[in-house]
Amino acid sequence: MTFPTSPNVDPLHTRPLGTTGMSITRVGFGAWAIGGADWVYGWGTQDDRDSVAAIHHACASGINWIDTAAAYGFGHSEKVVATALRAMPPSERPYVFTKCGVVGDEQKGSQELRFVGRPESIRRELEGSLSRLGVECVDLYQMHWPSTDGSTIDEYWGTLLDLKREGKARAVGLSNHNVEQLEAADRMGHVDSLQPPFSAISRDIAAGGLPWCQGHDTGVIVYSPMQSGLLTGKFSAARAKGLPGNDWRTRSPYFTGDGLLRNLALADALRPIAQRRGVEVGAVAVAWTLAWPGVTGAIVGARSPAQVDGWIAAARFDLTVDEMREIAAAIKSTGAGTGPVAPAGA
């Protein structure tokens, strides 16, 4: 498989995604925000033309995978991804990862979600994703969240394993699951990947999930490495206050009160490293997640080509030991977030 690249862009380094046989670039395109505004975790109004342009620019910059989900705009994100893919030669299209298990509540509309794991629902959701994406097989199919509908992990993980055997998914994984749940799934069949939240603010997965995955040959693709914009270096208290009501971040404690001030202080502490490296603050934040043992790649969102340019450099440099210590000290001094501040022994 080859991928579109700009003529003056060096190929991005790749890492094996567990035992899947896929090697993925250290950063991938995250398609959460391009799902639009019309659902409870929307990011405000988004122009689909900008979204397609962002995907094309990411792929032209060397990225070889996209992560989306049926829940993002209840299928809208997948449709936008499909639009972008159709304009690319089949041999140059990126890997496409998507997720299942989160659906709208038929009675309450798009502002309420149900977390489902029944086999018939999972199969129905996959058929919907295949149709919207215009593909016959999903490269990675993931359970988005643990179910709350009474179904067990044996039911939904067993279904994902069946779909892999049937050739409808090349690999299967779990998103937002803890070590106990990973253990339960792994007893049934290998967990190809885990997708957890991970950033210099949200660090809890480093205490258990990352070491578990590293010890079980499970790939890890982390999401929100810039903490949904807070660690881009372009966010501010004024911007947080001005977010539209249909942006989910207005309801997040990370974006309000003392939590917001601590997080913005941490972003400011990353500026000296960014200036020395000649990159933007967001690229340093992403590179921090990639420095942790066990992390295969980071999912980074963008709603325009310019936003891609703000973080793509993270795929091309490694933070030094001294820089990691500098960031650990900043995390401690600002009091931002929770979880380990540096890899063991660093």
Task: Assign 233 a pLDDT band (cuts: 50, 70, 90).
Answer: confident
Q: Provide the 3-class DSSP secondary structure of residue 40.
A: coil
Cβ proximity of 30 and 300 under 8 Å: yes
- The DSSP output letter for 315 is G
Mean pLDDT of 291-303: 96
The answer, yes or no, to whether residue 336 has pLDDT greater than 70, is yes
Residue 37 predicted with pLDDT over 80: no
Give the separation between CA 37 and CA 44, rounded to whole angstroms.
4
Q: What is the pLDDT of residue 113?
A: 84
**From the CB of residue 88, how many other CB atoms can be counted at a distance below 10 Å?**
16
Average pLDDT over residues 198-221: 97
More confident residue, 242 or 175: 175
Separation of alpha carbons 103 and 219, rounded Å: 26
What is the pLDDT, as a whole number, of residue 105?
Answer: 64
Task: Note the pTM of the prediction, 2 decimals.
Answer: 0.92
Asked whether 180 and 312 are in contact (CB, 8 A), the reply is: no
Structural domains of the chain in order of their starting residue, each with its CATH number: 14-334 (3.20.20.100)
Contacts of 160 (CB under 8 A, 6+ apart): 122, 141, 143, 169, 172
Q: What is the pLDDT of residues 156-189, one digit of tens each?
A: 999 999 999 999 999 999 999 999 999 999 999 9
At 30 the pLDDT is 96
The answer to whether residue 23 scores a pLDDT higher than 80 is yes
The catalytic residues are 72
Residue 22 has pLDDT above 60, yes or no: yes
Q: How far is CA 271 from CA 184, 283, 307, in A?
A: 42, 11, 17
Q: Return the percentage of the chain with pLDDT > 90, whole number.
A: 77
Amino acid occupying residue 222: V
Q: Does an H or E element contain 14, and which?
A: strand 14-16
Please give the mean pLDDT across all residues of the chain.
91
**CA 293 – CA 219 distance, rounded (Å):** 11
